[in-house]
A and B are shown apart, each in its own frame.
Chain A
Amino acid sequence: MPRQERLDQVKVSDRMFMFKPCVGENKYPGIINSIMHAMPRLGVEPVESDEQTCCGGFLTFTNVAEPTSTMPAVARNVAIAEEMGLDIVTMCNGCYTFLTEFTHFMDQRPPVKKVVNTILSMIGREYKGTQQVYHAVEVFYKLKDRIAERAVRPLDGMKFATHYGCHYLNGFKNEAIDDAFMPTVLEELITACGGTPVEYEAQRECCGTGLTQVILHKEEISLPHCQRKFDSLNEAAPDAVVVQCPYCLAQLDRMQHKLNWRKITDYKVPVIHLNQLVALALGVEVEKLGFGAHAMSLDRFVEKLPPLEKTAGAREVPVG
Chain B
Amino acid sequence: MARVGVFVCHCGVNIAAKVDVAKVAEEVGKLPEVAFARDYKFMCSSPGQNLVKEAIKEHGLNRVVVAACSPKMHLPTFQKAIAAEGLNPYLISMANIREQCSWVTEDPEEATAKALDLVTRQVKRVAHQDPLEDIDVELNKTAIVVGGGIAGIQAALDIADGDRKVVLVEKSPSLGGKMAQLDETFPTLDCSQCILTPKMVEAAKHPNIEIRVNSEVATLDGYVGNFDVTIRRRATCVDEERCIGCGLCQEKCPVKNVPDEFNAGLANRPAIAIPFPQAVPAVPVIDRERCLKLTKDKCGACAKVCPADAIDYSDEGSEETVKAGAIVVATGYREMDPAVYTEYGGGTLPDVITGLQFERLVSSTGPTGGHLKRPSDGKEPKTVVFTQCVGSRDPSRGHEYCSGICCMYTAKHAMLYRHHVPDGKAYVSYIDIRSPGKSYEQFVRRAIEEEDVRYLRGRVGRIMRLKSGKYRVFTEDSLVGRPVAIDADMVVLASAVEPQAGAVELAQTLGIAYDADGFYSEAHPKLKPVETATAGVFLAGACQGPKDIPASVQQGSAAASKVLSLFARDTLKKSPQVAKVDPTACTGCLTCSYVCHYSAIEQSEFAGRQVAEVVAGKCQGCGACAATCKNKAIALAQFSDDEVFEEMLR
> Which of A182, A201, A235 is within 8 Å of B346, CB to CB?
A182
Query: Is A107 interfacial (CB-CB < 8 Å)?
Result: no
Chain B residues 455 to 483 lying within 8 A of chain A, measured CB to CB, are: 462, 464-467
Query: Is A142 interfacial (CB-CB < 8 Å)?
Result: no
- Give Cα distance in the complex from A182 to B342, angstroms: 6
The answer to whether B343 and A181 touch across the interface, beta carbons within 8 angstroms, is yes
Query: Is B348 interfacial (CB-CB < 8 Å)?
Result: yes
The answer to whether A181 and B348 touch across the interface, beta carbons within 8 angstroms, is no
In the complex, per-residue mask of B279-303: 1 if CB is within 8 Å of any chain A CB, else 0: 0000000000000000000000000
Which A-chain residue is minimally distant from B347 (CB atoms)? A182
The answer to whether B466 and A181 touch across the interface, beta carbons within 8 angstroms, is no
The answer to whether A181 and B342 touch across the interface, beta carbons within 8 angstroms, is yes
| Chain A residues with CB below 8 A from B466, complex form | 201
- Give Cα distance in the complex from A204 to B345, angstroms: 12
The answer to whether A181 and B467 touch across the interface, beta carbons within 8 angstroms, is no
- Give Cα distance in the complex from A235 to B468, angstroms: 13
The answer to whether A204 and B464 touch across the interface, beta carbons within 8 angstroms, is yes
Which B-chain residue is minimally distant from A174 (CB atoms)? B396
| Chain B residues with CB below 8 A from A182, complex form | 342, 345-346, 348
The answer to whether A201 and B464 touch across the interface, beta carbons within 8 angstroms, is yes
| Chain B residues with CB below 8 A from A180, complex form | 342-343
Most buried by B among A180, A201, A204: A201
- Give Cα distance in the complex from A179 to B466, angstroms: 20
| Chain B residues with CB below 8 A from A204, complex form | 462, 464
| Chain A residues with CB below 8 A from B462, complex form | 181, 204
In the complex, per-residue mask of A164-199: 1 if CB is within 8 Å of any chain B CB, else 0: 000000000000000111100000000000000000
Which B-chain residue is minimally distant from A179 (CB atoms)? B342
In the complex, per-residue mask of A212-228: 1 if CB is within 8 Å of any chain B CB, else 0: 00000000000000000
- Give Cα distance in the complex from A43 to B447, angstroms: 65
B463 to chain A, nearest CB (A): 9
Which B-chain residue is minimally distant from A235 (CB atoms)? B467
Most buried by B among A179, A181, A182, A235: A181
- Give Cα distance in the complex from A181 to B466, angstroms: 15
Question: What is the total number of residues of chain B having a CB less than 8 Å from a CB of chain A?
Answer: 10
The answer to whether A179 and B346 touch across the interface, beta carbons within 8 angstroms, is yes
B226 to chain A, nearest CB (A): 49
| Chain A residues with CB below 8 A from B467, complex form | 201, 235
- Give Cα distance in the complex from A6 to B343, angstroms: 20
- Majority-rule SS of A interface residues: loop
- Give Cα distance in the complex from A204 to B467, angstroms: 14
Which A-chain residue is minimally distant from B467 (CB atoms)? A201
Most buried by A among B345, B462, B464: B464
Which A-chain residue is minimally distant from B340 (CB atoms)? A179
A193 to chain B, nearest CB (A): 25
In the complex, per-residue mask of B463-505: 1 if CB is within 8 Å of any chain A CB, else 0: 0111100000000000000000000000000000000000000
- Give Cα distance in the complex from A22 to B618, angstroms: 78
B302 to chain A, nearest CB (A): 40
| Chain B residues with CB below 8 A from A201, complex form | 464-467
A318 to chain B, nearest CB (A): 42
- Give Cα distance in the complex from A182 to B467, angstroms: 16
- Give Cα distance in the complex from A201 to B466, angstroms: 6
In the complex, per-residue mask of B340-359: 1 if CB is within 8 Å of any chain A CB, else 0: 00110110100000000000
Chain A residues 113 to 163 lying within 8 A of chain B, measured CB to CB, are: none
B326 to chain A, nearest CB (A): 46
Which A-chain residue is minimally distant from B462 (CB atoms)? A181
- Give Cα distance in the complex from A180 to B344, angstroms: 12
Which A-chain residue is minimally distant from B344 (CB atoms)? A181
- Give Cα distance in the complex from A204 to B346, angstroms: 14
A6 to chain B, nearest CB (A): 15
A245 to chain B, nearest CB (A): 21
| Chain B residues with CB below 8 A from A179, complex form | 342, 346
A173 to chain B, nearest CB (A): 9
A206 to chain B, nearest CB (A): 12
- Give Cα distance in the complex from A54 to B342, angstroms: 34
- Give Cα distance in the complex from A182 to B341, angstroms: 10
- Give Cα distance in the complex from A180 to B342, angstroms: 8
A186 to chain B, nearest CB (A): 16
- Give Cα distance in the complex from A201 to B470, angstroms: 11
| Chain A residues with CB below 8 A from B343, complex form | 180-181
| Chain A residues with CB below 8 A from B348, complex form | 182
B469 to chain A, nearest CB (A): 11
- Give Cα distance in the complex from A180 to B345, angstroms: 11
Which B-chain residue is minimally distant from A173 (CB atoms)? B396
Which B-chain residue is minimally distant from A203 (CB atoms)? B464
Which B-chain residue is minimally distant from A183 (CB atoms)? B342
Chain B residues 182 to 235 lying within 8 A of chain A, measured CB to CB, are: none
- Give Cα distance in the complex from A177 to B382, angstroms: 38
B439 to chain A, nearest CB (A): 39
- Give Cα distance in the complex from A249 to B342, angstroms: 26
B197 to chain A, nearest CB (A): 42
- Give Cα distance in the complex from A182 to B349, angstroms: 12
A301 to chain B, nearest CB (A): 24
| Chain A residues with CB below 8 A from B345, complex form | 182
- Give Cα distance in the complex from A181 to B465, angstroms: 12
- Give Cα distance in the complex from A180 to B343, angstroms: 8
- Give Cα distance in the complex from A201 to B463, angstroms: 11
Chain A residues 224 to 260 lying within 8 A of chain B, measured CB to CB, are: 235
| Chain A residues with CB below 8 A from B464, complex form | 201, 204
A246 to chain B, nearest CB (A): 26
- Give Cα distance in the complex from A182 to B345, angstroms: 8
Which B-chain residue is minimally distant from A236 (CB atoms)? B467
| Chain A residues with CB below 8 A from B346, complex form | 179, 181-182
B511 to chain A, nearest CB (A): 35
- Give Cα distance in the complex from A204 to B343, angstroms: 10
| Chain B residues with CB below 8 A from A235, complex form | 467
- Give Cα distance in the complex from A180 to B466, angstroms: 18
- Give Cα distance in the complex from A181 to B463, angstroms: 10
In the complex, per-residue mask of B310-349: 1 if CB is within 8 Å of any chain A CB, else 0: 0000000000000000000000000000000011011010
Given known contacts A182-B345, A201-B466, A235-B467, what 15 new A-B pairs fall within 8 Å (CB)? A179-B342, A179-B346, A180-B342, A180-B343, A181-B342, A181-B343, A181-B346, A181-B462, A182-B342, A182-B346, A182-B348, A201-B465, A201-B467, A204-B462, A204-B464
A-B contact pairs, 5 of them (CB 8 A): A180-B343, A182-B346, A201-B465, A201-B467, A235-B467
- B positions within 8 Å CB-CB of A: 342-343, 345-346, 348, 462, 464-467
In order of increasing CB-CB distance, the 7 nearest A-B pairs are A181-B342, A181-B343, A182-B342, A179-B342, A182-B346, A201-B466, A201-B467
